[in-house]
A and B are shown apart, each in its own frame.
Chain A
Amino acid sequence: MLETHDLTVGFPVRADGKKAILTAVNKVNIRIEKGDALGLVGESGSGKSTVGRTILHLNRATGGSVTLDGQDITRLNAADEKVLRRRAQMVFQDPHSALNPRMTIMRSVAEPLILHTKLRGAELREKVGSLLEIVGLQKQFLYRYPHELSGGQKQRVCIARAIALNPELLVLDEPTSALDVSVQAQILEFLKSIQKELDLTYLFISHNLAVIRYVCNRVAVMYLGQIVEQGETEEVFSNPKHPYTKALLEAVPLPEPGQPRRGKPIVGDIPSPLNLPKGCFFNTRCEKAIAGVCDQKPVPNFTTEDGRRVRCVLYDPEMQPQAATAL
């Protein structure tokens, strides 16, 4: 349903007094089928939010294209953009700053309906009331203000607003990061149930691997603006192929007793996107890096036998002898 082709987003910045382009998203190709939930996971600065925002025209793409049901939506005029908003909506990380503190819940959720439909008066109130019901809030919340609601309730309001126009695609940008774990569990359960009920497609952006595993059936791992591994969630989590995916999964402390105190954590920091490493972007931190190969030329995507796409020379068919020893 949604596809990006070499999607690239650059931001003009000043670094050391010189103008430069910060490439936040670097030739990203993702594909989401109808009814899928694609998880986009990565650390801060990996460009995952920029991908989501660019798809919804909150940033401008500097290269590549985005298509929705085969129709190019990379560059749209204001009228077409409005049409896009009916089909695709976003839920942001911090529900508190995503709601206008001077609007009642009724007004916030009604906003998209007022802009896009002819519903007014009693009909509008009824529609907003039924939306709140879907997200599990009683009608008594209609005339409350955001500050009277808890974080979890506010996030439910944001979701109600996002589904008001019956969109097909929801971009969820860290929807539970600002919430406590017990509330997060409620929201995740709820997101899973409305996905089925309302036949929604999700692009779910998160840094939390466990959350992604819970909600998404497909996952794409991002590092420094590139997707390094993409495949079925269960396959990627149970058998990660890219060294970065492996390191990321190993870095998560598990909520169970008997873990080793000391591991060998992945070394170093994420390089600056203004000064990207030569060759594979991960070679500076990769324990499997092969000198003279990984630090030389950029690495393309390789498709493994089970259909997973991995951006690592270890999966290059021509590299098999060396890869066999390294793996």
Chain B
Amino acid sequence: MTEAPVLEIRDYRLNFNTFDGVYHALDGVNLAVGKGQSLGIVGETGCGKSVTVRNVLGLLPSPPAEVISGEILYNGKDMLKVTPEEMQKIRGIEIAMIFQDPMTYLNPVFTIGTQMIDVILTHQKALDRHARKNRKEAKAHAIEMLRKVHLPNPESQIDRYPHELSGGMRQRVLIAMALSGSPKLLIADEPTTALDVTIQAQILDLIAELVEDMGLSVVIITHDLGVVAKVCDNVAVMYAGQVVEYGTIEEVFGQPKHPYTEGLLKSIPHPGKPPEELYGIPGFLPNLLTPPKGCRFQARCPKAMDICGTPPKNRNNAAHDRTVLCHLYEEGFADA
């Protein structure tokens, strides 16, 4: 990467201290997102994909969460060391986040206008006194943002309540709200999972448009490999709290290296092709209260060897940023 990344996560380890013991949620996560780039984080339930990004904005309560090591660098600044006051000036203005279920994140008793104006006025506190918008200007800005996300008739929609809008419209409102402070980085946690495919296509199209027009960097978390392949430049595949494979979409989807990525790709029926036999990855996720000593995928891996009892190291492709966490690539690897 020539330019310094906007967001870089280095050797990030995080535990949850529970009554049952210490849950090793993340174990040495390394990720980077460049300016104007989009990174997809994929993995199955419980692999730690959401937990990885929550602390970028300080959203994990501690306790129970405990950061063991690592840093989350946003333009060089370690977000794990930021004070709550400083964080307030970053949330929504530098980095914004949208979540899965658009209904739960909107307050049902206020109109979407009231909620958007609130957000915009809160952002003003980070500005100099003379540059702040007043309520009327904030409303104009809210309408402008709604227009940007292609909500029809924003002037009248702004006085509506969340229940009067469809799921797709609500997600548009949340995106408008997230982008109202013109952030540089947008983190979207399963943004289309609650939506129908035709509406999902609209929202993905909108995100692609905003990335192009606003030079936004995006992190998209999803379990849907199709969504990642469509909107992201790079992809990180997570398994049991680790990034097992990282690379560009072409590399990872075209030539998967890690046995887990291979299994995952073989386990989804392809909507565009006649059926072939599916491969269900046998077994279950390991219990992270007592993570396996070596490779975390060894118990389910068809290619497991004796050496897999020891933890694998990340292997880089000599040429660029592609990494694979697997003993098979101990000697390094090259892309064909």
Tell me whether A263 and B205 are in contact (CB under 8 A). Answer: yes
Tell me whether B230 and A248 are in contact (CB under 8 A). Answer: no
- B contact face: mostly helix, strand, loop, or mixed: helix
Query: Chain B: which residue is nearest A43 at the CB level?
Result: B196
Tell whether A209 pairs with B199 under 8 Å between CB atoms, given A181-B264, A253-B229, A262-B205. Answer: no
Tell whether A255 pairs with B200 under 8 Å between CB atoms, given A214-B275, A262-B205. Answer: no
- Give Cα A184 to B278, complex, Å: 10
| B230 smallest CB distance to A (angstroms) | 4
Residues from chain A with a CB closer than 8 A to the CB of B204 are 253, 265
- Give Cα A187 to B224, complex, Å: 18
Q: Is A185 an interface residue (CB 8 A)?
A: yes
Among A234, A262, A265, contact of B198 (Cβ-Cβ < 8 Å): A265
Residues from chain B with a CB closer than 8 A to the CB of A180 are 44-45, 223
| A53 smallest CB distance to B (angstroms) | 20
Tell me whether B201 and A182 are in contact (CB under 8 A). Answer: no
Tell me whether A185 and B224 are in contact (CB under 8 A). Answer: no
Tell me whether B198 and A247 are in contact (CB under 8 A). Answer: yes
Question: Could you mark each residue 245-268 of chain A with 1 if its beta carbon is under 8 Å from any beta carbon of chain B, else 0?
Answer: 001111111111111011101110
Residues from chain A with a CB closer than 8 A to the CB of B284 are 150
Tell me whether B229 and A207 are in contact (CB under 8 A). Answer: no
Query: Chain A: which residue is nearest B273 at the CB level?
Result: A213
Residues from chain A with a CB closer than 8 A to the CB of B226 are 252-255
Tell me whether B229 and A182 are in contact (CB under 8 A). Answer: no
Q: Count the B residues whose beta carbon is within 8 Å of the partner chain — how many?
A: 47
| A254 smallest CB distance to B (angstroms) | 6
Among A43, A251, A253, A258, contact of B224 (Cβ-Cβ < 8 Å): A253
| B276 smallest CB distance to A (angstroms) | 9
Q: Is A119 an interface residue (CB 8 A)?
A: no
Tell me whether A255 and B205 are in contact (CB under 8 A). Answer: no
Tell me the chain A residues, 35-92 only, with Cβ under 8 Å from chain B: 43-44
Residues from chain B with a CB closer than 8 A to the CB of A209 are 197, 271
Residues from chain B with a CB closer than 8 A to the CB of A263 are 201, 205
Tell me whether A185 and B278 are in contact (CB under 8 A). Answer: yes
Tell whether A185 pairs with B268 under 8 Å between CB atoms, given A259-B230, A261-B231. Answer: yes
Please list the residues of chain B having a beta carbon within 8 angstroms of any beta carbon in chain A: 44-45, 166, 168-169, 196-202, 204-205, 208-209, 223-227, 229-231, 249-250, 253-254, 263-272, 274-275, 277-282, 284
The 4 lowest CB-CB distance pairs between A and B, nearest first, are: A186-B280, A253-B226, A265-B201, A185-B280
